[in-house]
Amino acid sequence: MNRPYHVHLVDADSPSRDALRSYLEANGLTVTTLGSAEELLRRMHRLRPDLIVLDMLVPGMGGLRACQQLRAVGDRVPVIFVTSRGEEVDRVLGIEVGADDLLVKPVSPRELLARIHAVLRRTVTPPGLPIFALPPVTLGRQVFDPASRCLREGERQVMLSTVEFAVLAELVGNPGVALSRERLLAASHSREEELQLRAIDVVVMRLRKRIEPDPAEPRYLQTIRGHGYMFVPERHDGSSDRGMPRSGAVSLPVAA
């Protein structure tokens, strides 16, 4: 049986938030309620949702800035804004920062549920099919070609598995960004597959054997201790990775 979609509901108004959560859960969704945008960003990749319902005017950082930060690091998780203001400027700002829909308070639970399903239908893609287009990327003597889902070196061509392709595409599509194991697992496997996060380590190990000059000293797929992995691209001048760690392990503060 399919697992229910998981929604993060971010609103500082506890009564409204709890009422919406009860309705959405009664209609088959799993809902995590959060009181601030800061809490959302802290927990985002450790408890990754299928969709976020985000109060645009939530106190503190605010929903707009939180959405901007997610999009800035390449995160395409669907976002539905809710706002107490029905002005055109709010709708324009929401679109500009990358939201998928917007509702004006007071929110009808039935309409919110319908909007959630509509957004999920048009934004959730099967694993292995990233929603962003990538040009070919040079990895030393090889070229990763997303269009053909393969690695090329001269006339030689190596096809990647669906999972290998999805993980590599997610990393390459976010150069220099530390991606959590949770995010890579969500990008490469269906929600029905019950897998451990360490499954991502196995996939990265396979990819390193394919693309790294020395898999024991990874150049392109760096480990972020306690978090996940990061893709380090070739420099524009074609030079090597001077200044990058050669151990393949980078220390990074991990969000709570």
Domain holding 92: CATH number?
3.40.50.2300
Mean pLDDT in residue range 42-54: 86
Instruction: Mark whether 90 and 179 lie in a shared domain.
Output: no
Average pLDDT over residues 82-98: 77
Structural domain for 32, as ranges: 6-123
Q: What does the pLDDT read at residue 132?
A: 44
- Sequence-ordered list of residues with C-beta below 8 angstroms from that of 175, at least 6 positions apart, any chain: 231, 232, 233
Q: Is residue 212 part of a domain?
A: yes
Number of domains observed in the structure of the chain: 2
Tell whether 107 and 35 lie within a shared domain.
yes
- Does the pLDDT of residue 245 top 60, yes or no? no
Give yes or no for a cis peptide into 106 (omega within 30° of 0): yes
The pLDDT-based confidence of 242 (bands split at 50, 70, 90) is very low
Strands of the sheet containing 101-104, edge to edge, are 30-34, 6-10, 51-55, 79-83, 101-104
Same domain, 154 and 226: yes
pLDDT, greater one: 80 or 44: 80
| pLDDT (mean) for 6-26 | 92
Q: Over 80: is that where the pLDDT of 134 sits?
A: no
Residues 239, 161: one domain?
yes
pLDDT of 92 reads 75
Pair (149, 114) in one structural domain: no
Chain segment 12-21, per-residue pLDDT in tens: 888 889 999 9
Same domain, 95 and 177: no
Domain end (from 66, 89, 123) = 123
pTM of the model: 0.53
128 within domain boundaries: no
Highest mean pLDDT (candidates 1-5, 57-61, 123-127, 128-132) = 57-61
Same domain as 66, residue 42 = yes
Has residue 132 been placed in a domain? Answer: no
Query: Residue 107: pLDDT above 60?
Result: yes
Distance spanning both ends of the chain, measured CA to CA: 31
What is the Cα Rg of the chain in Å?
A: 20
Residue 256 lies in a domain: no
Mean pLDDT, residues 169-175 taken together: 88
Query: For position 22, what pLDDT does the model report?
Result: 95
pLDDT at 190: 53
Would the CA dihedral through 8, 23, 102, 34 be positive or negative?
A: negative
Note the pLDDT tens digit of each residue in 187-218. Answer: 776 554 455 677 889 899 999 999 999 999 99
